[in-house]
Amino acid sequence: MESLQSPLVLSSKLLPNSLKKPVLEVRKGGGGGSQDGSSAMLVNTDKKDASDSVGFHLVPPPSVILFHVILDLQSLYLAKGILEEKLTGTIVLFPAFEARGSCDNGVIDPHEKLSTQKEAETGNSEGEEERKTKVTYNIVFVTSESAPYSKTGGLGDVCGSLPIALAAHGHRVMVVSPRYQNGTCSDEIFSGASDLEHPIKVHCFGGVQEVSFFHEYRAGVDWVFVDHPSYHRPGNPYGDGYSAFGDNQFRFTLLCHAACEAPLVLPLGGFTYGEKCLFLVNDWHASLVPVLLAAKYRPHGVYKDARTVLVIHNLAHQGVEPAVTYDNLGLPPEWYGAVEWVFPTWARTHALDTGQAVNLLKGAIVTVDRILTVSKGYAWEVTTPEGGYGLHELLTSRKAVINGITNGIDVSEWDPSSDEHIPFHYSAEDLSGKVQCKIALQKELSLPIRPDCPLIGFIGRLDYQKGIDVIRLATPELMGEDVQLVMLGSGNPEDEEWMRVMESTYRDKFRGWVGFNVPISHRITASCDILLMPSRFEPCGLNQLYAMRYGAVPVVHGTGGLRDTVENFNPYAGGGSGQGTGWTFSPLSKDTMLAALRVAIRTYREHKPSWERLMKRGMEKDYTWDKAALEYEQVFNGPSSIRLTAKKTAPFPRTENIEMCHVSELYSMVFPSLHCSVRAIQLKEVIFPCDLSIPDLRDSNFYGERERERETGK
């Protein structure tokens, strides 16, 4: 700590007026963060003055050496003698510790940390050889949901399990997601998370928003929850059950700004993650993070060594909003081109619609270091016109940095030998419990008890993507076979009503459970002989993995992750013992699906030994998160030639001069697109109190009158 005795005084001429009083002083220290190996931190004993004069949400101007500090830790550092008493109004540099691996719940003693670092430097600590051969990272997941705290689908599963697997490999892992209070996510779910009492202010959408952080250390992972009133409303994380929330762009912009600040300001386990982080951003909700790092932070010397990875779970959702909302994102004007999006002519509503918009997912694609999809098949599909949803050419241009990694599953939750949701347990060595589960489900659903009758299951949303229309077309013919069909799902009200009609029509063969129920999904998976998944597209898919682990044979449309994970059955391979784990069919149609089902049914009835081997091969497959974590590490440690290939510092110019505005001005704007008008009014109503007497831009007559006035010059 002798370096603390060499003061380096900054000239007040270099500082903005708001920082000239009191006098600022910089003291050198060891560690990483600035060019001389030091990290600067602002320390001020008066919290109010510090937040008012500088604002911990802002990236400092380039003329100021500035970093974030946790004011609540001042007394600790003073007590340990790390800092001197003269702290008021000073900028002090001291070592920035990189805490990797496991992280303690309590505050780490700085002297103990220094001792540990010294031991590592001298080679006296345990595990020295392992540290030399294995690279560990400070990993920051940014996601809109993470199980068990919030979950609507596979995204929540991935961001609830993969961080734990990576932490078990020695990485220090943080997950940043919203703290929802929406009926499905209650205070009880977050009971283990405590308020860090370190709110920050975020400038976006024409105002200043204050967000708070809650933290829980569980399973070796720092779970950080961003709290803001916009996350406290009935419904699911994205909508009210009928449509998406009108201010989702605002809500997830807040999340991204907070996620960029969290590694800098939150003393998790006593020390921040610091700037040298690896950000894993998931889908469009977190896609603003790499753009903020490139446009806002790196030009000021912050996060220069950080790396970013985009994980695409579903390319169909891209975070597209009116172009006029760009200035509300907190990005410099010259970076508009990074998120610029123009709808094709056929997608425009009228002659005046120019199709100008912003696309947050596009911004991530052009600024991240690496791109991952949740299966190898989906990595190829996103580069095709059919699967790229307008981004295929851009993704093709970056195919050198695209990889596909199949998701894992939580084998502790999905284990037929110990599953608490099923009445009988079984394994690949003893399958007798599966037959008992089948009989129990038939009793529960009042189906005829027929252990030898093929039981087909379907679990999923009732919508077009999942192929429910194909199932509806095929059901009359399928009911002509000697089978039973059980379906669990919710979605389109017409499809829900169709299930009720089918149940009354085929009382001995069909059962439909409207809604989603975790225990019943486990029981259907454990009981059915065949799991049907005719999805039009499936980035990864988890139900087929659950099915194989439970000895149910999947019959799937050969797309995305379904093609990757289900190997088509070949009874003649392997010297007659067969190979494969199920059946895939393509193209998607009623006839191809029925043909695959009939082959599976015939195999079940007439070739029992082959069927049992088919079941066991699926049950023995390794789809653990540990395997997926190893593949993620291979991407993290990829060759440097393709590690940092994104455009990071050069501005992205606008192709057209787009008129920008803040949310506070939205009512006075006349948009060339009625869609933009509707979205603007939704944003205005949610974020700011509005005078409903002001003409509603959603009124087509008002819109037409304003356009006519514009054309005539009146």
What is the CATH classification number for the domain harbouring 160?
3.40.50.2000
Average pLDDT, integer, range 345-363: 84
**Has residue 653 been placed in a domain?**
no
pLDDT in tens, 87-116: 333 333 333 223 222 233 333 333 333 333
CA atoms within 13 A on the CB side of 176: 29
Interior CA angle at 285 toward 280 and 290, to 5°?
Answer: 45
Model pLDDT, residue 678: 52
Task: Report the distance separating Cα 356 and Cα 326, nearest Å.
Answer: 11
Domain count of the chain?
Answer: 4
Q: Residue 308: pLDDT above 90?
A: yes
Of 63, 78, 93, which marks where a domain is finished? 93
Predicted local confidence at residue 187, as pLDDT: 67
The pLDDT, as a whole number, for residue 6 is: 29
Residue 619 within any structural domain of the chain:
yes
Whether residue 648 is predicted with pLDDT greater than 50 in this model: the reply is no
Q: What is the dihedral of CA 42, 44, 48, 49, to 10 degrees?
A: -80
User: What's the domain range around 84?
Assistant: 2-93
| Whole-number pLDDT of residue 185 | 60
Tell me the per-residue pLDDT of 212-271, one tens digit each, with 9 for 90 and over. 999 999 999 999 999 999 999 888 899 887 788 889 999 999 999 999 999 999 999 888
Q: Which of 308, 202, 162 is nearest to 630 (CA)?
A: 162
Looking at the predicted structure, is the pLDDT value of residue 2 above 60?
no
State the pLDDT confidence band at 152, using cuts at 50, 70 and 90: confident
Q: Are residues 61 and 181 in the same domain?
A: no
Instruction: Report in angstroms the alpha-carbon separations of 314 from 291, 317, 419, 541.
Output: 20, 6, 29, 11
Average pLDDT over residues 142-153: 90
Question: Quick check: 517 pLDDT over 50?
Answer: yes
And the tokens for 184? Answer: 């499905």
Considering the domain architecture, whether residues 461 and 562 belong to the same structural domain is answered as yes
Q: Mean per-residue pLDDT for 26-31?
A: 33
* Mean pLDDT, residues 23-38: 34
Cα-Cα-Cα-Cα torsion 15, 19, 23, 26, nearest 10 degrees, comes to -70
Q: What are phi and psi of 347, to 5 degrees?
A: -90, 0
Query: What is the pLDDT, as a whole number, of residue 683?
Result: 52
Residues 139, 204 within the same domain: yes
Q: Token pair for residue 670? A: 């006349």
Q: Where is 603: in which H helix or E strand?
A: helix 590-606
pLDDT score of 682: 52
Phi, psi of 10 (to 5 degrees): -85, 140
On whether both 209 and 249 belong to a single domain, the answer is: yes
pLDDT of 343? 83
Task: Give residue 562's pLDDT band: very low, low, confident or very high (50, 70, 90).
Answer: very high
Are 246 and 217 contacting, i.e. CB atoms less than 8 angstroms apart?
no
User: Mean pLDDT across the chain, nearest whole number?
Assistant: 77
Residue 85: band (very low, low, confident or very high) from pLDDT cuts 50, 70, 90: very low
Q: How confident is the model at residue 554 (pLDDT cuts 50, 70, 90)?
A: very high
Determine how many CB atoms are found less than 10 A away from the CB of residue 669: 16
- Mean pLDDT value of segment 463-474: 95
Cβ contact 613:335 at 8 Å: no
Tokens representing residue 330 in the block? 């907190």
Q: How far apart are CA 236 and CA 155, in angstroms?
A: 14
Whole-number Å distance between alpha carbons of 26 and 267: 22
Q: Same domain for 523 and 611?
A: yes
Q: Are residues 462 and 610 in the same domain?
A: yes
Strands 356-359, 340-342: pairing is antiparallel
Q: Examine residue 495 and state whether it is found in any structural domain, yes or no.
A: yes
Task: Say yes or no: 288 and 399 in one domain.
Answer: yes
Same domain? For 530 and 614 the reply is yes
Asked whether residue 643 is assigned to any structural domain, the reply reads no
32: helix, strand or coil: coil
Asked whether residue 418 is assigned to any structural domain, the reply reads no
- Label residue 344 by pLDDT band (50, 70, 90): confident
End-to-end CA distance of the chain: 73
Residue 279 forms beta bridges with which residues?
140, 308
Q: How confident is the model at residue 296 (pLDDT cuts 50, 70, 90)?
A: very high
To the nearest 10 degrees (0 to 180), the angle between helices 590-606 and 468-478 is 50
- Pairwise CA distance, residues 670 & 681, whole Å: 11
| pLDDT reading at 681 higher than 60 | no
Report yes or no: 155 and 618 within 8 Å, Cβ to Cβ: no
Whole-angstrom Cα distance, residue 32 to residue 53? 26
Compute φ and ψ for 507, nearest 5 degrees. Answer: -65, -30
pLDDT of residue 497 exceeding 90: yes
Q: What is the distance between the alpha carbons of residues 330 and 336, in angstroms, rounded to a whole number?
A: 11
Q: Which two tokens stand for residue 95?
A: 């070592």
pLDDT classification of 707: cutoffs 50, 70, 90: very low
Q: How far apart are CA 221 and CA 390, in angstroms?
A: 36
- Any domain includes 695: yes
Q: What pLDDT sits at residue 1? A: 35
pLDDT category of residue 577 using cuts at 50, 70 and 90:
confident
Token output for 342: 């123009």
Residue 700: strand, helix, or coil: helix
Among the candidates 592, 623, 654, a domain finishes at: 623
The answer, yes or no, to whether residue 665 has pLDDT greater than 60, is no
Please tell me the predicted confidence (pLDDT) of residue 614.
95
Residues 400 and 491 in one domain: no
Token code pair at residue 343: 């709808």
Write down the pLDDT at residue 183: 62
pLDDT tens digit sequence for 417-432: 999 999 999 999 999 9
In a domain, 353, yes or no: no
Q: Of 568, 596, 623, at which residue does a domain stop?
A: 623
Q: Report phi then psi at 200, rounded to 5.
A: -125, 160
Give the span between the Cα atoms of 247 and 680, in whole angstroms: 9
* Angle 627-190-163 from CA coordinates, rounded to 5°: 15
In terms of pLDDT, which residue wins out, 530 or 685? 530
Nearest 5°: the CA angle 266, 270, 276 is: 60
| Mean pLDDT to the nearest integer, 561-579 | 87
The verdict on 389 and 441 lying in the same domain is no
Among 343, 345, 326, residue whose Cα is nearest residue 657: 326
Same domain, yes or no, for 468 and 509? yes
Name the pLDDT band for 571 (thresholds 50, 70, 90).
confident
Question: b or e along 77-90 (b: 16 or more beta carbons within 10 Å of the residue's beta carbon)?
Answer: beeeebbeeebebb
Instruction: Give yes or no: residues 368 and 228 share one domain.
Output: yes
Strand 40-43 relative to strand 90-93: parallel, antiparallel, unpaired?
A: antiparallel
Nearest by Cα to 613 from 625, 624, 604:
604
- Residue 680's pLDDT band, with cuts at 50, 70 and 90, is low
Rounded to 5°, the CA angle 684-688-689 comes to 110
Task: Establish if 281 belongs to a structural domain.
Answer: yes
Query: In angstroms, rounded to a whole number, what is the distance separating the alpha carbons of residues 528 and 550?
Result: 9
Amino acid at 519: P
Summarize the chain as % helix, strand, coil (round to 5): 40, 15, 45
The SS3 assignment for 676 reads helix
As given in the structure block, the two tokens for residue 581 are 């784990």
Mean pLDDT value of segment 528-552: 95
